[in-house]
Every structure is written in structure tokens, then in C-alpha cells.
Amino acid sequence: MRIITFGDIHMNPGDVESIPGIHSAELIIITGDITNFGSRKDAEKIINKLMTINSNLLGVAGNLDQPEVARYLEDIGLSLHGKGKIINGLGIVGLGGSNFTPFKTPYEFSEQELANLLAKGISQIGDTKDHILVSHTPPFQTKIDKLLNNAHVGSTAVRTYIEQQQPLLCLAGHIHESRGQDYIGRTLVFNPGMIKDGGYIKVLYENGEISASLYP
């Protein structure tokens, strides 16, 4: 199964349709911030465009999306937020929004709420051997959750989940300036940055083995 993932769209998908293999990938995953404080109608414009490229779409809303964007994804069957799905033998657990920020953005949760949502998600994949985590907010104290002043602002709940559950991958976003990758135990964690800047991740899951790379 070939997966392409990106996020932090902010109403500007850039040149997403030129990503090699995007038209034929088995799954496209959006890691949040589809809009800029936008509405359901704003999100619908972006989702409709992406669906013309590849309709195998799942994702979460980010902290800069209004809660109605998360409900829209739920209504059209694309939401991973607080859910666990199994696709071609691979478990996928999803988490939208973010931990609390100083800016009081529209879609934020306490660390306990995030932990509860993650617990709900993993409960839905049963004893599936392999799984990945899709989380708009990155795990705390990593290379992918740092602001320009080097302050770490990721989620402690997401980090604890990764330490305890050790998913194969964590696909995150949220902190635009912290594009990159890191490890927590065996878990490879990614932040591709904003899609308008060209960042995305390719994942290949085949015969129980997974590989992933950050582009460009």
C-alpha cells in the first residue's frame, strides 16, 4: 500500500497534484490545518480539489480549523480524529486539533482530552500488529516540535502514547518551521512542513514492512 501524506494546507494546496504517484496512491492522508480559521465551506473547497486528484482520502482537522471543519470531515466519512481504522492490514490511529496554545486557536484540547482520544482510537484497531499515528500536533521534545526560539511546544500526551504504543510511524505537522524527522524508540516521527512549500511524506507498507521518506 502506497500512502502520501501532507498537511498545513491553510487554503493553499500548492502544486500538490504534481507529487509523483499521487493520482495512483492507495491512500492520501491530510494531517490538519486545511483552512485558516476557516469554515466548513472553506474546507469543502480544498477537499473537493483533492478528491479530483485522488478520492482515497482520510485526514484530521488542525487547530486553525473551526470545529465545524472536523464535523464536516466526519459527515463525509473522511475523519480519523479519535478513530482507529484498519486498511490493508495496517492500523491507523488519528488525532486532530492541538494541545493548548497561547493563541487560543479554534480547535484545541487539554492533554488529558488528547490522551482520551488516542485511547479511543487505538481501542478500535484491536490486536492489529502494525499501526501508524496521524496527529496534527507533534510529540513533545523532538526535532519536529520546536519553534524558532528552540522552545518545544508539542503534546506530552502524543509523546506518551508513542512511548507506550510504539507505532511504526507518527505523521504530524502544526509547527511549520520544524520540518524534519526524528525517532522516539522505534517510532519514526515526521513533520513535512506546509504543503505550499512542497513538503510531503511517502509511505510504503508491504508484506508487514514499512518504509517512509520525507520529500523533497
- At 18-47, the pLDDT tens digits run 999 999 999 999 999 999 999 999 999 999
pLDDT, tens digit (0-9, with 9 covering 90-100), for 109-127: 999 999 999 999 999 999 9
pLDDT, tens digit (0-9, with 9 covering 90-100), for 150-169: 999 999 999 999 999 999 99
pLDDT, tens digit (0-9, with 9 covering 90-100), for 190-215: 999 999 999 999 999 998 999 999 99
C-alpha cell at 112: 488529558
Residue spans of the domains in the chain: they are 2-215
Q: State whether CATH 3.40.50.2000 applies to domain 2-215.
A: no
What pLDDT, on the 0 to 100 scale, is given for residue 108? 98
What pLDDT, on the 0 to 100 scale, is given for residue 49? 98
